Amino acid sequence: MHYDAVLFDFDGVVVETPSSQRLYEAFGRAADRIGRSGSATELFQGLVQGDFESIATRCRRLEIDTDTFCTAAATELVRAQVADVEQGLRSAYDDVTAVRSLERPLGIVSDNHPTVVSRLLDRFGFRSLFETIYGCPLTPDGLARRKPDPRNIEDAMATLEADSALYVGDRAVDVQAAHNAGIDAALLSRADADSPTLESEPEYRLSSLTRLPALLE
């Protein structure tokens, strides 16, 4: 099938997934910055919950200004992930180079912070491969757009002027988001990754991004 564009998840597809422990530590530093040391566990649970209201509810309970905390948390999350790359604790996958041969517009749609995505793409020399980037900042609208919400996929397609697209991800929620946007999904299952439990089947399954060019011929 012909696709006008190909969209990719970021963590687990282009770069290695960040350590949950490192993200938790970043939340701890954010809590320290606003003078609420010891609140990291509860606040981090709000992020894991995946929506702004979960974070806001915990901030209210802890008598923390939500916007102040989210600004500090976003700063620390970006710093932590960039530092992991600079220290060699996290890297890009070798097979990302295979997408260079795809002769159609490419984009990134990620649940990670857009600043993280842009900076790591620059760091690994992949920024020029992708014409558009959509991420999820720590704001009400940003977290509301986390997958399986399809709006970031839909907006990326509009930016690329694509009527059809293939979304490549490594999680069940990626498949759901693609289908919610009315497009096909390719599930990337790397050898060292656990197989996700799926609510809907992807149109394609890949063991490596090197399989993608042949699939799109």
pLDDT one-digit tens code per residue, 105-163: 999 999 999 999 999 999 999 999 999 999 999 898 998 999 999 999 999 999 999 99
Which token pair is 204? 């394609």
Q: How many domains does the chain have?
A: 2
- Using the 3D structure, point to which of 62, 86, 110 is the last residue of a domain: 86
Mean pLDDT across the chain: 91
pLDDT in tens, 11-33: 999 999 999 899 889 888 988 88
Q: Are residues 10 and 117 in the same domain?
A: yes
Sheet holding 106-109, edge to edge: 132-134, 106-109, 5-8, 165-169, 184-188, 204-206
Residues near 67 by beta carbon (within 8 Å), at least 6 away in sequence: none
Q: Are residues 124 and 145 in the same domain?
A: yes
Which residues sit opposite 7 in a β-bridge?
Answer: 107, 167
Q: Are residues 132 and 151 in the same domain?
A: yes
- What pLDDT is recorded for position 212? 95
Does the pTM of the predicted model rise above 0.85? Answer: yes
- Using the 3D structure, point to which of 86, 104, 120 is the last residue of a domain: 86
Residues of the domain holding 148:
5-16+91-215
